[in-house]
């Protein structure tokens, strides 16, 4: 499975592409950060971000797009920008018929480090180890995007199989007519 992980943001949007399946070594395909200038109008920033995500989807052809779920912070402007960037990534994926899955920051940290309270340094260290990289991905947004992709491969893949099994069982079970 190839997963495009997105750590959403307007100024810096981390992107990481990872190939892998549960129980097999993971491979980093791409890592980077899409940037938009803070002095640009919000609509133009979102448009630029959309163009960059679109180019990434066309280049890497992911099977799934995994996005970090936006959580409430004290700074409303930051939350809004992050939510808007998330929406752009989800829109591009939907346009291409690619499934989108959201993962919370705690879920990502727990799947990569074993602790939902891990700090950025711990996440980066584990991403570097898991992907057998010679140096840590920088900046932190890039490492976080890889962590999101890894999280989806490990957790989302199992969740997808469970959902498919439940759906298959529901189709196989005869429905009873009401009396």
Respond yes or no on whether the N-terminal peptide bond of residue 139 is cis (omega within 30° of 0): yes
Is 141 part of the annotated catalytic residue set? yes
From 7, 19, 50, 144, active-site residue: 7
From 50, 68, 107, 144, active-site residue: 68
Q: What are phi and psi of 161, to 5 degrees?
A: -65, -40
Residue 68 assigned to a binding site: yes
Is 119 part of the annotated catalytic residue set? no
Is 68 part of the annotated catalytic residue set? yes
User: Helix H segments across the chain?
Assistant: 42-60, 76-95, 105-113, 120-130, 140-151, 157-172
- The whole-angstrom separation of Cα 95 and Cα 170 is 29
From 19, 50, 107, 141, active-site residue: 141
Residue 7 assigned to a binding site: yes
Residue 119 assigned to a binding site: no
Q: Which residues are annotated as a binding site for Mg(2+)?
A: 7, 68, 141
Q: Which residues are annotated as a binding site?
A: 7, 68, 141
What residues act catalytically?
7, 68, 141
């Amino acid at each position: 499975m190839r997963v495009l992980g997105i750590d959403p943001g307007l100024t810096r949007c981390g992107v990481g592409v990872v190939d892998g399946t549960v129980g097999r070594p993971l491979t980093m395909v791409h890592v980077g950060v899409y940037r938009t200038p803070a002095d640009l109008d919000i609509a133009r920033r979102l448009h630029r971000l959309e163009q960059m995500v679109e180019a990434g989807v066309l280049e890497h052809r992911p099977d799934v797009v995994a996005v970090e779920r936006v959580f409430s912070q004290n700074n409303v402007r930051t939350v809004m920008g992050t939510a808007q960037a998330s929406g752009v990534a989800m829109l591009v994926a939907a346009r291409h018929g690619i499934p989108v899955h959201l993962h919370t920051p705690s879920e990502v940290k727990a799947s990569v480090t074993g602790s939902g309270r891990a700090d950025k340094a711990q996440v980066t260290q584990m991403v570097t180890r898991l992907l057998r990289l010679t140096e840590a991905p920088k900046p932190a947004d890039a490492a976080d995007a890889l962590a999101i992709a890894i999280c989806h491969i490990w957790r989302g893949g199992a969740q997808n199989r469970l959902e498919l099994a439940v759906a298959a069982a529901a189709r196989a079970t005869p429905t009873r007519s009401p009396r």
